[in-house]
Amino acid sequence: MSQYIFKMPDLGEGTVDAEIVAWHAKPGDQVTEDQIIVEVMTDKAAVEVPAPVSGRVVSVTGAPGEKVAVGSPLIVFELTNGANAADAPAAAPPRPSAPEPSTPQPATLQPAGSQPAAAVTRQGRVMTSPANRRRAHEAGVDLTTVAGSGPGGRIVRSDVEAAIAPSAGLKIAADIGALPLTTEIKVIGLRRLIAERMSEAKRNIPHFAYVEEVDVTELESLRLYLNGSAPKGAGSLSYLPLVVMALIQVLKSYPQCNVLYDAARGVLVRHRAVHVGIATQTPDGLKVPVVRNAQALGLWEIAAEIRRLAERARTNKATREELVGSTITVTSLGKLGGIASTPIINAPEVAIIGLNKAVERPVVHQGGVVVRRIMNLSSSFDHRFVDGYDAAAMIQALKEFLEHPATIFIPTVKSS
């Protein structure tokens, strides 16, 4: 009889620890390889961790709500036949050792005999070109989770692109449920994460809030026209994709708002790509799924992507990759939008754009009182890095686009 110590795996980019959400096995239980034994929470998604071997659970570390550092012992198994992980008994039904991608992937996903884990984890240094490292970094893809199909297992460009594609994410399970139904609700999991991130953002970032009203009469008529002429099954447009499109135009002139602040290094990282976080209400709380490389998408693609991501976030199907890596966030409460709000910045971003409710109001327009559709934009900026002047100018630029919606779709002319 030998023992096998299973350590908390690195579940993704920069993860230092993970919170135990629920145990599906207790000491004394006999488990088979690949059986889900514990659910843990990384910074935004729940991950089901399968048993790496078959055997009897001797001990487990960490009660629900507790954090366990990556690399520290999580479960001790007693192996039934003294075999090591690589030649574990064949009791478990045969299945691929790699995550099951929904698109075809190169055949050499994982070297034979390696341990099955929640992600394709790699020993040692990632082998790939600097250009691929940049692509992965910009898309928020953790290269240690990408399988290489090139010579010697090297990660080639097509591997990175497959990992960036929204459908090729990790097999991260959905349900963080199974919480006890009592009136006393422990602040753990997603709620704890939201709480921590909110207080951290509010505590550390001097928020500069700016509210401006936007005449969306023309935007509304464009929206109604597009909805009326949309192809079947395209779904109807809200203001959100239109605002995202306009925002991408504006960020070309205000790159200081498409920034992630790396506090540890004291560096502001400007991004060429625009990954737009979409604040989304879900039964579990606020999630911010990310429309990746929004600058490369058209209006209908953005609308479809927002709908798809919101649905996945609401049904707990969003992968970790779909929930991290935004460079700027847009928040909209739709019909509950109110007249003004003070959104909290989704750190380490430096700006968040809030949409308030669009309502018809009497306004003075060209010398007379007319009914116009007005929507306020309530935005917050990290005043350490975005000056009030620039923030205001950025929102004014956004207002210009939204009030003259045709200009959103006209290539910008570089002036000055």
Partner 1 sequence: MNMIQALNSAMDIMLGRDPAVVLMGEDIGYFGGVFRATDGLQRKYGEHRVLDTPIAEGGIVASAIGMSVNGLRPVAEIQFADYIYPGFDQICSELARIRYRSAGEFFAPVTIRTPCGGGIRGGQTHSQSPEGIFTHVSGIKVVMPSNPYDAKGLLITAIEDDDPVIFFEPKRLYNGPFDGDPNKPAVPWSTHPKGQVDEGYYKVALGKAEIVRSGSQVTIITYGTMVFVAAAAAAAMNIDAEIIDLRSLVPLDVDTIATSVKKTGRCVIAHEATRFSGFGAEILSIVQEECFWDLEAPIQRVTGWDTPYPHAFEWEYFPGQARVTRALKSVLEPA
Residue nearer to partner 1 on the CB measure, 3 or 108: 108
Q: Which helix (H) or strand (E) holds 161?
A: helix 157-164
Closest alpha carbon to 18 in 61, 62, 67:
67
Q: How far apart are CA 171 and CA 169, in angstroms?
A: 7
Residue of 58, 70, 76, 156 interacting with partner 1 (CB under 8 A):
156
Q: Are 212 and 399 in contact (CB under 8 A)?
A: yes
**Minimum CB separation from partner 1 for residue 111, in Å?**
20
Residue nearer to partner 1 on the CB measure, 135 or 308: 135
Letters for 96-135 (x = contact with partner 1 by CB under 8 A, - = none) are --------------------------------xxxxxxx-
Strand-pair partners of 79? 2
Residue nearer to partner 1 on the CB measure, 159 or 305: 159
Tokens of 212: 């401006």
3 state SS of 363: strand
**Minimum CB separation from partner 1 for residue 231, in Å?**
36
Q: Which residues are catalytic?
A: 383, 387
Residue of 72, 81, 108, 158 interacting with partner 1 (CB under 8 A):
158
> Rule CB under 8 A: is residue 56 a binding residue for partner 1?
no
Q: How far apart are CA 360 and CA 346, in angstroms?
A: 31
Residue of 154, 192, 314, 317 interacting with partner 1 (CB under 8 A):
154
Tokens of 39: 């659910």
Residue of 151, 231, 233, 368 interacting with partner 1 (CB under 8 A):
151
CB proximity list for 255: less than 8 A, separation 6 or greater? 270
Q: What's phi and psi for 220, nearest 5 deg?
A: -65, -40
For the purposes of burial, counting CB atoms within 10 Å of the CB of 10, is it exposed (0-12), middle (13-18) or buried (19 or more)? buried
Letters for 328-357 (x = contact with partner 1 by CB under 8 A, - = none) are ------------------------------
Residue nearer to partner 1 on the CB measure, 80 or 129: 129
Count of positions on this chain that bind partner 1 (CB under 8 A): 13
Residues that bind partner 1 (CB under 8 A): 128-134, 150-151, 154, 156-158
